[in-house]
Structure 1
C-alpha cells in the first residue's frame, strides 16, 4: 500500500484566492453616528490630550531648575556641604517641588478627563451603529439572507464595531497627545539650549527611521509566521476531516511531514523576528546613546566657553551660563518628546486605517436597500432607542396574514 500513499491536504499546492485590496472609507465617515454631544465630547477630549502632550516634556524641562536648586550656595556664599543658613535654597527647592506636583495634577486630570470623554462618545456611537446594523439585518428578506452567510454576520458585527470603536476612541487622544508632545518638546528644548537641541534634532530622525524600519520588518515577518501557522492548521483540519481516506492510503507520514514543514518554517521565522527585533532595539539605543554622548561632549565645551565670558556675573552663581542642568534638560526633553511622541503615532495610524475599513463594511450593509416585505415596518432614528426598538421586535413576531390569496396565483 506504500505505493499508493498520497497526501490529500498539501498546503503548498493549493492555490489561495487573491484577496482584493481593502477598501477604506473617508476619515470623516468615522463620525457618521455621532450626535452633537459626541462631537463636543470628542473635541474636548482632544483638547485635553493636547494639554497632556504639552505638559509631559516639562518634566525634563524643569530639570535644570532642579539642579540649580540643589547646588545653590548657602546664604553666606559658602557651598554645601559646608554648614550654613540656606533659606534661599530651601525656597527654591520648594518652588521646584510645587511645580512638579502641579504638573502631575494637570497631567492626571487631562489624561483621565480625555479618556473618559472620548470613550463615552465612542461607546455611544458604537451602540448606535450596532442597533442600526441589527435592524438592517432584520428588515431584509429571505433572498438577501440567501446571499449572506448568517454565521458571518454576527462575528463581523462584533469585530468591525470593535475596530470602529478603537479608531474613534482613545487612539484619537493618543494621536493628539503625540503631536503636541513632539512640538512642545522641540520648543521647550530650543528655549532651554538651542545648540544642544539642534544637535539632538540631527540624531533623532536617524533613530526614528531605524524604529520605523524595524517595525515594518517585524510586521512583515509576523505576517509570514501567521501564514505558516494557518497552512499548518489547514493541513491538520483537512487531514482530520478526511482521516479515513488518509488511513486507507497510508498517508499519515506525508501529512505529518507537511504539517511539520509548515510548523518548522513558522518556527524559523519566529526566531528571525526575535533577532531582528533585538537588533533593531539595540540599534535604536545605540543611536540615542551616541547622540547623548555627543551632546555631553559638545555641551561641556560650550559650558566652558560661556563661563569664560563671565555670564555668571549677571545673577550669581549661575547667571545666564550654560550648566550641566541646561544641557541634560534640553537633551532629555527632545528625546522624550520624539520617542514617546512620534513613536506612538504608528499605532494610531494603524488603528485609524482599520477603523476606516471597518466603517466601510458596516456602511455597506446599512446602505443596502431593504426588502419589499419589510416596507410596511418603517423605523426612524428615534425608533432605534431601546423602548421603541423592543416594540419593533414585537411587530416582527406577529404572524403574517395573506389577505388576497388569489393574487399569488
Structure 2
C-alpha cells in the first residue's frame, strides 16, 4: 500500500470511525423499542390488518439489502479509484524535481486525469444505483401503504374497524418495520 492510498483511505474511513465510537447502545435500544412497540400497538389495535402488513415487510427488507450491497460494491471501486489518483499525486509531488527535469508534468497530469475520470464514472454509477435503489424501496413502501389503505377500507366495511384504527395500524407497522 502506498502513502497516497493510506491518506485517501484514512480520510474516507474517518466517518466510519466516528460512527463506531458514537452513541451506538442508546440508538440500538431506541430502535429495538420502536420495533417491538410498533408491532405491539398494531396487533392490539387490529390483528387482521397487522398480519397483512407483515407480508409487506420482507420485500422492503430485501430491496434495502440489495441496494446496500450494490452501493457497497460500487463505493469500494470508487474509493479505490480515488486512492490510485491520490497515489499519482503523492508520487509526482514527492519527486517533483525528477518529474520536472524529464518534462513529465503532462504525463503525470494525463495519468491523474485518467484515474479521476474513472472515479467520476464510478460516482455517477453510484448515484444511479442509489437513485434506482431508493426509488425501488419507496415504490414497495408506498405500495404497502396502498395495500393497507385498500384492505383497511374493506375491514371498515365488513369487520367494524374505524378509520383511526386503520391509520394507527398502518403507521405502527411501517414505523416499527422501518427501524
5+ unaligned residues in a row in structure 2: which ranges?
Answer: 3-13
Matches within 5 A, 1:249-268: 249-268=102-121
- Name the CA distance, whole Å, in 2 between partners of 1:175 and 1:328: 26
Alignment of 1:201 with 2:54, yes or no, is: yes
- Name the CA distance, whole Å, in 1 between partners of 2:65 and 2:19: 26
Matches within 5 A, 1:12-27: 16=1
Matching residue of 1:328: 167
1:299 is matched with which residue: 134, 152, 175? 152
Offset, 1:216: 2.6
Cα offsets for 1:53-109 (capped at 9, x unmatched): xxxxxxxxxxxxxxxxxxxxxxxxxxxxxxxxxxxxxxxxxxxxxxxxxxxxxxxxx
TM-score (norm 2): 0.84
Q: Aligned with 2:52: secondary structure?
A: helix
Matches within 5 A, 1:307-326: 321-326=160-165
Q: Aligned with 1:322: secondary structure?
A: coil
CA gap 1:164/1:271 in 2 versus in 1, 3 angstroms: closer
CA gap 1:324/1:164 in 2 versus in 1, 3 angstroms: closer
The higher relative CO (CA closer than 8 Å, separation ≥ 6) is in: 2
Offset, 1:178: 0.9
Cα offsets for 1:126-154 (capped at 9, x unmatched): xxxxxxxxxxxxxxxxxxxxxxxxxxxxx
Cα offsets for 1:259-317 (capped at 9, x unmatched): 011100110111111111111111111101111111111221121112xxxxxxxxxxx
Offset, 1:220: 2.5
Pair member with larger Rg: 1
Q: Aligned with 2:55: secondary structure?
A: helix
Matches within 5 A, 1:135-214: 163=17, 166-167=20-21, 170-214=23-67
Offset, 1:253: 2.4
Alignment of 1:271 with 2:124, yes or no, is: yes
TM-score (norm 1): 0.39
Matching residue of 2:6: none
How many residues align? The count is 168
Cα offsets for 1:169-227 (capped at 9, x unmatched): 51101111111211111111011111111111111121122112212322222222222
Matching residue of 1:6: none
Q: Answer 1 or 2: which has greater helix percent.
A: 2
Matching residue of 1:240: 93
- Name the CA distance, whole Å, in 1 between partners of 2:71 and 2:161: 42
Q: Aligned with 1:250: secondary structure?
A: coil
Q: Aligned with 1:257: secondary structure?
A: helix
